[in-house]
Structure 1
Amino acid sequence: MNFNFPGQKSVYHGKVREVYTLENNTLLMVATDRLSAFDVVMPKGIPYKGQILNQIATKMMRDTEDLVPNWLVATPDPNVAIGEACEPFKVEMVIRGYMSGHAAREYKAGKRLLCGVPLPEGLKENDKFPEPIITPATKAEMGDHDEDISREDIIKKGIVSEEDYLQLEDYTRKLFKRGSEIAAKRGLILVDTKYEFGKTKEGKIVLIDEIHTPDSSRYFYTEGYESRQKKNEPQKQLSKEFVRQWLIENGFQGLEGQKVPEMSDEYVKTVSERYIELYENITGEKFVKADVSNIHERIEKNVLNYLK
């Protein structure tokens, strides 16, 4: 998608989003239907995925703005978010309430220290941690993988000042607590998530990017969680993990020489349906499909009306 908005200064084409910098310190983000897994963009887009992520993130920003200030000013179109341009911190604040995903893989490999945080003995996959743990990652430059880093290293290397970092940790814990409360009302468990922050030109720390979406978070269903743990069964989850699992089963993990498996139209349709299910479960609202007959024209019209 290529737009030329009034006052446009630059554009950045990300893996799944287009970011336009406009004058007056304004940032405009278009959430596309592109799907990325293992840091690779899949050959086919997923219908309505951009709308779903943008609308979940908007709702969650509104539901947490009393706790933590954020960058968002308006969403003039189902796929568009407009807000204040910020200088992003070069770390992602990952917080985990349960031992799942990356943490579980590291634990299985025998590690008992994750990002400088000691992990208790005797845990099994998907067990709840006594307290949520923060396991930051450095934000990768183009194409590289994000890397685990400890709080001590972040401060020592001057990636973030100690004062700012303590604020990021405080905001991360508050957001995770609120996100967990919202999830619990919907019969869900917020397992882990990541937050990104930036600084406004006035020097205020704000939440940026997306929040509590299935692309940035992992959810379990509350119902049956305990019995599945007791029986050592995999948890029923709401996240992008189902796509990753499908790719792994089809011999793809983003490693050199591996080819992305062919996604049939039928499979793409099932992924789209899963994303809609995620939306409805996470927000507790019915998903209303936007008109996609001419998405480019629709976005342009809505944004131009807003900018007027």
Structure 2
Amino acid sequence: MVNFVNMVDTPALAAHINNVLEDVSIPELPNHYRGKVRDNYDLPDGRRIIIATDRLSAFDRNLAAIPFKGQVLTQTARFWFEATRDVCPNHVIGYPDPNVVVCRRLSILPVEIIVRDYLAGSTATSILSLYKAGQREMYGVRLPDGLRENQKLPETIITPTTKASTGGHDEPLTPDEIMGRNLLTAAQWQRVSELALTLFARGREIAKERGLILVDTKYEFGFDEHGQIILADEIHTPDSSRYWFRGSYDTRFEAGERPDSFDKDFIRTWVVSRCDPYKDPIPEIPQEVILEAARVYISAFEAITQQTFDLPPAGTSVLERIRHNLADYFPSAGQTGTTGE
């Protein structure tokens, strides 16, 4: 395992092993929707409250709950939203709590945009899985023969997929299919593609400054009430992106070894080595693996943002803190809340 920036002390982190946010049911808030990782509440005035839980989702199922994962995702995305707002407008209004973003409610595009710079991945729809199966034509892109696992691609590519419901599978799409099925118009697809590639280029540049490689990432976009395309969900987090350490990449690639990384591949790799996660029951993930995953997430936040992650006092209830910080948004408060800035 790689030495990370400001690695959190294991005993200190272990004190929080049972203080995880698995569910955020807040009866005072309206229109609850539970996603794979986030719980959402839609306010009557067109705003949305998105609460990042500690659930870890992969292989179309929830695998575990990782301490502080939701906070890491929210605050890492906050860093990136602020670092890219000159590239693309985003949905953020404010942050009333470390796990919470209040944002504009959008009509989310029915296509997920995945941008890739390397032949990598572990899911059934990843270009590495398809390439290993002998495919060279995928997502409307043709890849050359002779590429090696984790190799830099000849050029940055977009691999769009459908947006599956919870428990469903994302399916590969080509640009022709996107337009042929009227998921997006040609002009919308061109605009989304331009934004995604520009956002990725910005992310790649900043990651490089931090000694990291932004390998691939997922973007979600939506339309606002004026039809403008807005960046939504999250950006360049350890859940939506794959990062490798630049300093060791060349040596490990030449040796045929897996690049040093911090992302949810840590848990995915543990699971894949023990079962077929699409068919078999998932074995119970040991506490030490859960704690190591938490350390990976926290270290990712620190390396990406160059900020220190401070652990709260042991025994602090994440849910109670969130409820307290969202009290102004409860209808009984007589108002719809502040921006949370």
Counterpart of 2:231 in 1: which secondary structure? strand
The one-letter code matched in structure 2 to 1:69 is: P
CA contact (8 A) 2:36 2:166 kept: no
- CA drift at 1:265: 2.4
CA contact (8 A) 1:252 1:261 kept: no
Question: Aligned partners of 2:254, 2:36: CA distance in 1, in Å?
Answer: 39
The one-letter code matched in structure 2 to 1:206 is: I
Is 1:229 matched up with 2:253? yes
CA contact (8 A) 2:60 2:166 kept: no
**What stretches of structure 1 of length at least 5 have no aligned partner?**
none
The one-letter code matched in structure 2 to 1:205 is: I
The one-letter code matched in structure 2 to 1:23 is: P
Match of 1:273 in 2: 295
- CA drift at 1:2: 1.2
Change (3 A) 1:111 1:178: same
CA contact (8 A) 2:92 2:101 kept: yes
- CA drift at 1:124: 0.8
Match of 1:36 in 2: 57
CA deviation string 1:232-261 (max 9, x = no partner): 222112211110111112224132xx2221
Match of 1:180 in 2: 204
Aligned length: 303
Question: Aligned partners of 2:296, 2:155: CA distance in 1, in Å?
Answer: 30
70-79 vs 136-145, which moves further: 136-145
CA deviation string 1:129-180 (max 9, x = no partner): 1210011001012311101100111011101111111110010001000000
CA contact (8 A) 2:215 2:241 kept: yes
Question: Aligned partners of 1:281, 1:54: CA distance in 2, in Å?
Answer: 15
280-289 vs 142-151, which moves further: 280-289
Change (3 A) 1:227 1:266: closer
Match of 2:304 in 1: 282
Is 1:168 matched up with 2:192? yes
Question: Aligned partners of 1:20, 1:158: CA distance in 2, in Å?
Answer: 29
CA deviation string 1:244-301 (max 9, x = no partner): 111112224132xx22211232322221112111211222221123456122221122
Question: Aligned partners of 1:37, 1:205: CA distance in 2, in Å?
Answer: 27
CA deviation string 1:53-107 (max 9, x = no partner): 1110111011100100000111110000111000000100011011111211211
Change (3 A) 1:164 1:290: farther
Question: Aligned partners of 1:186, 1:61: CA distance in 2, in Å?
Answer: 17
Question: Aligned partners of 1:10, 1:265: CA distance in 2, in Å?
Answer: 34
115-124 vs 147-156, which moves further: 115-124
Stretches of 4+ moved more than 6 A in 1?
none
Is 1:239 matched up with 2:263? yes
Match of 1:303 in 2: 326
The one-letter code matched in structure 1 to 2:73 is: L
Match for 2:163 among 124, 139, 161? 139
**What stretches of structure 2 of length at least 5 have no aligned partner?**
1-23, 330-336
Is 1:10 matched up with 2:34? no
CA contact (8 A) 1:135 1:149 kept: yes
Match for 2:40 among 3, 12, 19? 19
The one-letter code matched in structure 1 to 2:283 is: P
CA contact (8 A) 2:263 2:296 kept: no
RMSD: 1.5
Q: TM-score, normalised by structure 1?
A: 0.94
Question: Aligned partners of 1:34, 1:179: CA distance in 2, in Å?
Answer: 25
CA deviation string 1:11-57 (max 9, x = no partner): 10112110100011101000011111211112x42110100011101
Match for 1:196 among 220, 225, 250? 220
| Matching of residues 99-178 of structure 1 within 5 Å | 99-101=119-121, 102-178=126-202
The one-letter code matched in structure 1 to 2:298 is: I
Match for 2:111 among 67, 78, 91? 91
The one-letter code matched in structure 2 to 1:111 is: Q
